[in-house]
Amino acid sequence: MTIIAPSIPGTAPGAQSAARAPLRIVPFDAPVGAEVLGLDLNQPLADDDFARIHRAHLDYHVLVFRDQRITPEQHIAFSRRFGPLQIHVLHQFQLPGYPELLIVSNIRENGQPIGLGDAGHFWHSDLSYKDKPSLGSLLHAQELPSEGGDTLFANMHLAWDTLPAHLQKAVEGRKAEHTYLAKYAELQKRNPWRPDLTAEQIAEVKPVVHPIVRTHPETGRKALFVSEHFTTHIVGLPEDESRELLAALFAHSVRDEHIYRHHWAEHDLVFWDNRSLMHLAAGTPDHLRRKMYRTTIEGDAPF
């Protein structure tokens, strides 16, 4: 059964007093995730608190910061403390004046989408189609629907650890191709507003090859690194064998016991590790508005 972590008492929007308690990390009763308490990102972040957040991110893979009423500049500045930021290929959906921020939204204004409305339709790890995939992503809630809009996270370390031995043997040492274009045409059929890519944009997302089992560069833990959204085939295998093996990996990765489901609250900031996880948008009813801002931090070449 997918686990939804409850809110910690006293952390609902507006519940904090002016003086916050010392920073605390409270793990969820879930396969991944923890809440960071006692932090206001409007205030300068001390080096020792940053170090604790960094460590918690490695330990729990998803961090939830409640009621963060921050500006785009503060969102970007906090993200940059973890590394250089990556610019999404769909430049059409940048927040004006802030190319580091991707608008994730189903809202249309004057008949046109203001953001990427179908982001996360398939399980994926952000920017796995780049030579240096994303270290992590930070998604900040701007406008939330009254129902729907949840985000699911799958622990890919657990997926590897619990993978049957014959499948571990079949994939260890092998590589797979990732491409942004893998399901782009399918998404365009579902959502005609999704823009055609220019030649320059296509050149930004040339296919890349990564290990199926990657080693986390900071913890040394192994994780599966394939997704239904961006992984097209396993290098060196016949098409039917590749397709069958990838299907088995996808199905195993998203077993309920590997998943945390995040139910968003106003001004949540959620920071996840793309080296350890996949994620999925559960969907929002078309008549309800949802708007989020996302940064992505550049990572390392997988090994």
Domains in the chain: boundaries = 24-192+200-298
The pLDDT of residue 5 is above 70: no
Task: Map tokens 């399901």 to a residue.
Answer: 183
Residue 47 belongs to what H/E stretch?
helix 47-60
Judging by beta carbons within 10 Å of its beta carbon (0-12, 13-18, 19+), is residue 48 exposed, middle or buried?
Answer: exposed
Say which residues have a Cβ less than 8 Å from residue 125's Cβ, sequence separation at least 6: 133, 134, 156, 225, 227, 230, 274, 275, 277, 278, 279
* 259 — pLDDT class (breaks 50, 70, 90): very high
Query: What mean pLDDT value characterizes the chain?
Result: 93
Residue 267 neighbours by CB under 8 Å, 6+ apart = 13, 66, 67, 68, 69, 140, 141
CA distance 18 to 34: 23
Tens of pLDDT, residue by residue over 84-114, are 999 999 999 999 999 999 999 999 998 889 9
Contact 8, 261 (CB under 8 A): no
d(CA 45, CA 39): 8
> Tens of pLDDT along 21-61?
689 999 999 999 999 999 999 999 999 999 999 999 999 99
Q: How confident is the model at residue 192 (pLDDT cuts 50, 70, 90)?
A: confident
Residue 10 has pLDDT above 90, yes or no: no
> How far lies 165's CA from each of 86, 168, 169, 210, in Å?
36, 5, 6, 21
Alpha carbons 170 and 245: distance in angstroms, whole number: 8
What's the pLDDT score for residue 6? 44
d(CA 131, CA 134): 10
- The answer to whether the CB of 182 falls within 8 A of the CB of 230 is yes
Q: Percentage of the chain with pLDDT > 70?
A: 93
| C-beta separation of 126 from 268 below 8 A | no
Region for residue 262 given its phi and psi (left: phi exceeds 0; alpha: psi -120 to 50; beta: otherwise): beta
Helix, strand, coil tally for the chain in percent (to 5): 25, 30, 50
Q: Quick one: pLDDT at residue 15?
A: 41
Closest CA to 106 of 44, 18, 194, 13: 194
The CATH class for the domain spanning 24-192+200-298 reads alpha beta
Catalytic positions:
124, 126, 279, 294
Instruction: Tell me what pLDDT residue 34 has.
Output: 98
Measured CA to CA in angstroms, residue 212 lies from 9, 167, 225, 300 at distances of: 40, 12, 5, 15
Position 126 confidence tier, pLDDT thresholds 50, 70, 90: very high
- Name the DSSP class of 106: -
* H helix or E strand, kind and range, residue 157: helix 156-161
Quote the pLDDT of residue 258: 98
- Residue 5 makes CB contacts below 8 A (sequence gap 6+) with 28, 29, 30, 33, 35, 64, 260, 262
